[in-house]
Chains A and B, each alone.
Chain A
């Protein structure tokens, strides 16, 4: 029975490997989802910027929405915040487009 530490180590390694693999996969997918959402939000912001620059008048509500979206995305935000920012930017974009006819 001198080998019992081997069994113990083996079982521990297995458990750690299982926990580790779950954590790694979850972290990676979370980070990937966040990165994707942030990238989407940036694209939406850029698109909204184009609309704002093309707009002749000013739309205060759209400006406000855009600023809020910008504020969210410039901080370190998660996936949900980035999605919210993208939605705000889209709304601002639509408002400016509508104002522009």
Chain B
């Protein structure tokens, strides 16, 4: 009965305590989560992908010219003849074609344009030397490029497929232009547009030198299809792609692409369009056909092709036109461009599902949760502080009275001693009256202390003092049965 009452009294109190300290712990935990999550940056990535450059396929794109600028990281394959041989070749004709040069152009048209330009410039106030065209191999070191630039006169320099004239690098600006430059190595339209630009004349139409496409013959197509291995790669003779870069898995996550690598095509001849033919043969399969450094795409998501091509060749076109890279490097970065577009979330294209970061999701609510916990803790603390820390010293816990008697509640002792005082008052005389009075004073003090919820110690000390007085009083009266110990024991039994 008493135990049950005690448990009932303790139940809500421990629950309140749990709420109090639980909310504090939760608030601290939330604070810690908040502080630790402050390492998060404002850098948003829509997926993991590796950004690389053509040089090694690994460097960050920001240093994508490092390979051509720094001899230590790049093995230059282009070579020039000695100074004497170079000077002899230079003196011989208008078009100086150095060994290893790969660029082609329509020589009669270029010669005609140069003749026209020379004529116009000769009529100007400040006559300038005749224009010469120097066609150099790609992948020249800086020193070799300087040697070409140092040749006398105002020369149109072609290093690899990169055209430079009158201080400008000339780049194609659309898909047709890049196709001419990279599929066949034909730079005619670049030269002609630059010459027209120097003379402030309208640029000639590029249609004349655009790449002509044709459907591949059945035999050509069968060669390619039969040549596809388990890695879905066909490398034609003259091409140097030996494996598909692993980034293809990111660029085309669902279906591994079919890759056909061909060497640079001959200018002026129709080029077989393998991409379209293979797309008919293998529907729903990404198909990449490389003509030299040109990558054409057909298959699912082909509407991204223009974005991929334009962004790739406008960014890396200059680099791959003047240097000699393995086709693997070119394809690697092209595929990275596809992966970028796939994960960029551009143009409402669906993104791959990514599990939301729970901390990121919870972060906006976190401060409010924290504040709520703090307020709950505060409320519980105030609530528990309002109630008396030790509510009833004599109420439910009996203090040991220190005299070896049966432990009794303070109220019980007070009641017992009070009735003893009443009985003793009948026997008291002048000699014993002060003791009785002092005992009653002590009893009154104990009573007040109990009423005021004072601590058990002060109540006990007052009761002890009263008990001593009454004990001595009983001794004086020689009445052992009125000794408080005996009297209280008799009452409680």
Contacts and interface: CB of A to CB of B under 8 A. Distances in A.
A28 to B, nearest CB: 7
A21 interface: yes
Given A39-B448, A100-B434, A47 B441 contact: yes
Contacts of B461: 40
A22 to B, nearest CB: 11
Given A11-B31, A24-B385, A50-B438, A40 B371 contact: no
Interface in A24-46: 24-25, 28-29, 32, 35-36, 39-40, 42-43, 46
Contacts, number: 84
Interface residues of A, number: 30
Contact of B377 (A9, A11, A14, A25): A14
Interface string B25-64: 0010001001000000000000000000000000000000
A51 to B, nearest CB: 6
Contacts of B389: 25, 28-29
B370 interface: yes
B415 interface: no
Interface stretch (B159-167, B237-245, B306-314, B451-459): B451-459
B368 interface: yes
Interface string B429-464: 000011001100110110011001011011001100
B445 A6 contact: no
Contact of A17 (B377, B444, B452): B377
A42 B385 CA distance: 29
Nearest to A49: B441
Interface of A: 3, 6-7, 9-11, 13-14, 17, 21, 24-25, 28-29, 32, 35-36, 39-40, 42-43, 46-47, 50-51, 53-54, 93, 97, 100
Interface of B: 24, 27, 31, 34, 364, 366-368, 370-371, 374-375, 377-378, 381, 385, 389, 433-434, 437-438, 441-442, 444-445, 448-449, 452, 454-455, 457-458, 461-462, 465
